[in-house]
Amino acid sequence: MDDFIIRMDRLVKKDRRYKIDAYEFVLEALSYVQKKSKNKGHITGQELLLGIKEYALEQFGGLSKTVFEHWGVKSTEDFGEIVFNMISENLLYKTEKDSKEDFKGVYDFEEAFKARFDTDPILD
């Protein structure tokens, strides 16, 4: 079995709060942010969270919050936990300046992922 898969499996067994989909999404969102970023170096927690928000809305639209809740993710702090779990398995790396605090209260899920049905045109 691939080493990456073994480490991911170990993560979800060690911390059962989050589904493997949440970890995979963080990696996809990180790639998304890196591709869009002019700065090709280190991505901060806040930059990642803003990218997660943008990427989620692209992928899931008004269902983003529901998808995240299904994965066990209810706040930006949960993404911090996921990132630091991945760091513990050497799937991601951090600098001395990075901490879980970087993920605390960056945005409110209710507001950030509010279903935008009220502004969508009604289809006949």
3-state secondary structure the chain: CCHHHHHHHHHHHHCCCCCHHHHHHHHHHHHHHHHHCCCCCCCCHHHHHHHHHHHHHHHHHHHHHHHHHHHCCCCHHHHHHHHHHHHHCCCCCCCCCCCHHHHCCCCCHHHHCCCCHHHCCCCC
Per-residue pLDDT 10s for the chain (124 aa) are 588 888 888 999 999 999 999 999 999 999 999 998 876 778 999 999 999 999 999 999 989 999 999 999 999 999 999 999 999 999 999 999 999 999 999 999 989 988 655 555 555 4
pTM of the model: 0.88
Q: Are 8 and 23 in contact (CB under 8 A)?
A: yes
